[in-house]
Amino acid sequence: MNGRFIALEGGEGAGKSTLLQLLFEKLQCCSGLDLLMTREPGGTAFAEEVRALLLFAKGEQLTAMSELFLILAARADHVEKVIKPALLSGKVVLCDRFTESTMAYQGQGRGLDISQVERCCLFATGGCEPSLTLLLDIDPEVSHQRLKQDRIAVDRMEMELMPFHRRVRQGFLAQARRAPERIVIIDAAAAQDVVVRQAFDAIAAHLGC
């Protein structure tokens, strides 16, 4: 594929969505880059419906396995309809969450077998993976305070208890240790201008722009 695939990862309240928008705007100033910004779960009509079900469904609690396969169904649709075509056309794809989130949340957080989750992820994506991942790392206690200040409503993941969020963080860091050549850790507790500069510099170095 001619394009580049870059993912932003991190726990709740790490600032991924805000950073993604800021990076997209800065990268638009780079000559010759054709950009696509997307998110997970989401990116297609079907995947956005799955996102709403996962994050805001009322009533019966989803099992860990049900949650995993809903996410993977949305991802398979997203990859085939959006990400792969964009990469084949030479676009730089910026995505809010991808496989590392599944490994951290459903693997480490929910306690599913990590190796099985990884195999399922590879099957769902057909091997399509980011060439660069920026991991916004933050203490869950700090991010929880951010969410309390910034949000009126919270989703299912944000409502999880602190031990879950600590496990998720450890899951992300474990993934970073496994793939240090691809995953760049950024201190999300730093000032926003520092986070944006470090993230942009990592992407610019990766793209050679």
The pLDDT of residue 146: 79
Give the list of residues 6+ apart from residue 163 with CB closer than 8 angstroms, or none: none
The stretch 57-77 carries a mean pLDDT of: 90
Q: Higher confidence at residue 154 or residue 42?
A: 42
Asked if pLDDT for residue 200 goes beyond 90, the answer is yes
Q: Higher confidence at residue 39 or residue 160?
A: 39
The order of strands in the sheet holding 132-137 is: 35-39, 92-96, 4-10, 132-137, 183-187
pLDDT-based confidence at residue 151 (cuts at 50, 70, 90):
low
pLDDT-based confidence at residue 59 (cuts at 50, 70, 90):
low
Asked if pLDDT for residue 1 goes beyond 70, the answer is no
- For helices 140-150 and 162-178, the axis angle rounded to 10 degrees is 120
Q: What is the pTM of this model?
A: 0.93
Domains of the chain: 4-207 (3.40.50.300)
Asked if pLDDT for residue 57 goes beyond 90, the answer is no
- Gap between the Cα atoms of 54 and 71, Å rounded: 8
Do residues 157 and 31 lie in contact, with contact meaning Cβ atoms separated by under 8 Å?
no
Whole-number percent of the chain with pLDDT over 90? 83
- Gap between the Cα atoms of 179 and 156, Å rounded: 29
Interval 162-192: pLDDT, tens: 999 999 999 999 999 999 999 999 999 999 9
The pLDDT of residue 46: 98
Angle at Cα 199 formed by Cα 197 and Cα 201, nearest 5°?
65
Mean pLDDT score of the chain: 93
The pLDDT of residue 144: 83
Asked if pLDDT for residue 60 goes beyond 90, the answer is no
The stretch 89-99 carries a mean pLDDT of: 97
